[in-house]
Structure 1
Amino acid sequence: MDIMRSVVGMVVLLAIAFLLSVNKKSISLRTVGAALLLQIAIGGIMLYFPPGKWAVEQAALGVHKVMSYSDAGSASIAGSTMIGYAALGVPVEYLLAASLMAIPGGILFARLLSPATESSQVSFNNLSFTETPPKSIIEAAATGAMTGLKIAAGVATVVMAFVAIIALINGIIGGVGGWFGFEHASLESILGYLLAPLAWVMGVDWSDANLAGSLIGQKLAINEFVAYLNFSPYLQTAGTLDAKTVAIISFALCGFANFGSIGVVVGAFSAVAPHRAPEIAQLGLRALAAATLSNLMSATIAGFFIGLA
């Protein structure tokens, strides 16, 4: 029954992507099918077949060994997000598998949501640049520094705007919820309730579906690190969640798909190509949807193979 539920979950995620597609007639079934099979194959090799599981476990041991070189665990390499997640108790083998499965998953849902309508005509032979090349190293360094400053300022400004918008929405939701006795209502809690049925279809037990939906909602509204931080206590206590639920949640949270990331992308590209800003902003939410669906598909596939084991 659980295996069939995971299969249904994969179909549901593909159906959601199909419904959100901007041009359903242009979807290449060959590309979509190949990407889906590759994502499933990577998941099967790394989570089900003994040689692949052994390789992933050895890689995970290597990560833990690197962490052990510091007295504070991961303090010496705090800049590595994978080490940070592992320090919270997230299984490293799941992080490694999710990172690889995200590659075909991204292609899969990008092709579903925004299928190519014509072949690309861009090549190195027909590229042209209007900017005058720098005359010296000093000019190149100065130009690069100014461009970097422009990008950093653009990203910071847009991210602050996105964070402020999320805070405003949470304030409104909390205020309205307070009238009805729900003082702690927020965007992430609402997303949690909305995503609970989807988490169940993906393979999570119904008793844990609200938790899974809430964590996915936190990842979308805030970021994946906060979601993993709130997931960590359940990982520290053995028996709180079953192995399949741990795997599904670990995979679902492993990605940078959140509203703040849209701000980073829009801010960076708008700084260097302001004339493309409307197009980039329009694609932002679609990119967020594709990335989120890719994470959820990886989680569903992981639950499928964990259930088979």
Structure 2
Amino acid sequence: APAALVAAKLLNPEKKEVGDPSAAKLEIHRTDSNLLDAACRGTSEGLILALNVIAMLIAFVALVALLNASFEWITQHISYWAMAIGHTAFGAAEVSLTDSPWFNLTDLLGWIFYPFAWLLGVDIKDVSTVASLIGMKTVLNEFVAFSALADLAEPISERSKALTTYALCGFANFASVAIQIGGISSLEPELRPRLSALGLRALLGGTVAALMTGCVAGMLLP
């Protein structure tokens, strides 16, 4: 929580003076006539909330899958044509399209997170693996990343594993942005534009908070 507050203040600082919060008065407007009315309204709002979250999750997961597939297709064709040119011009070995290397959005974010994984304090030999796991958590979710961490073909050191656990322990992924927008906007529709504008910033803040927590853990671990 402290790391999240620090990241939030850095990414979205207050631009106007805030009054004394202790002087604020809480006003609760009663909208239900009795307990039965409140139960009915709560059920209706809960159903709307659940349907919005489900729909947003389906849409965002599909969008991420589309981006991943697009990255794979584009990079595979680029590498294929580059190798074909090399074969024609320099006599390099000929390769087929299916054998051409490619990368996706998860790999791209893994490269972006490489310096951050190094700053996290993991062992040098584990930096690439940890960066890929952080990228996987951002694109997919933390459950997939933790499963991949447990099933690594080449296990990382205990220190790297502990720091990676802290770095992956968070909800900073694209699906969580969907839950945030769909969940809150179903209760307060007028906030949807603001939630959409802050969605990626919240994703960045959550990622920074998890990495900061990992850095603090790295200072304490031997």
TM-score, scaled relative to structure 1: 0.60
User: Cα offset for 1:136?
Assistant: 2.3
Structure 1 residues 131-183: Cα deviation after superposition (integer angstroms, max 9, x where no partner): x6212222211111100011111111111111111011011001112211224
Paired residue for 1:257, among 149, 172, 183?
172
User: Equivalent of 1:300, from 205, 210, 215?
Assistant: 215
Task: Give, in whole Å, the separation in 2 of the partners of 1:191 and 1:143.
Answer: 43
Q: Take 1:217 and 1:120, find their aligned partners in 2: how far apart are those partners?
A: 40
For residue 226 of structure 1, report the CA deviation from its aligned partner: 0.3
- Residue type of the alignment partner of 1:141: A
Letter in 2 for 1:292: T
Residue 224 (str. 1) matches residue 103 (str. 2): no
**Aligned structure 1 segments of 4 or more residues deviating by more than 6 angstroms:** none
1:9-47 per-position Cα deviation (integer Å, ceiling 9, x unaligned)? xxxxxxxxxxxxxxxxxxxxxxxxxxxxxxxxxxxxxxx
CA-based RMSD of the aligned residues comes to: 2.0
Distance 1:246 1:287, change over 3 A: same
Gap change, CA 1:283 and 1:127, over 3 Å in 2: farther
What is the DSSP-based 3-state SS (H/G/I as helix, E as strand, rest coil) of the residue aligned with 2:101?
coil
Counterparts of 2:65 and 2:101, CA distance in 1? 17
- Larger Rg: 1 or 2? 2
195, 203, 207: which one aligns with 2:125? 207
Check conservation: 1:245, 1:303, Cα contact below 8 A: no
Say if 2:12 is the partner of 1:119. Answer: no
Larger relative contact order (Cα-Cα within 8 Å, sequence gap ≥ 6): 1
Matches of 2:169 and 2:31 in 1, distance apart? 40
Which blocks of at least 5 consecutive residues in structure 2 are unaligned? 80-99
Partners of 1:192 and 1:213 within 8 A in 2: yes
CA distance in 2, matches of 1:128, 1:231: 47
Return the offset for 1:229: 0.2
1:197 aligns to 2:95 (yes or no) = no
Aligned residues: 199
TM-score w.r.t. the length of structure 2 is 0.83
Q: How does 1:4-83 map to 2 (within 5 A)?
A: none
1:146 aligns with 2:64: no
1:115 is displaced (CA, Å) by: 1.4
Counterparts of 2:187 and 2:20 in 1: how far apart (Å)?
22
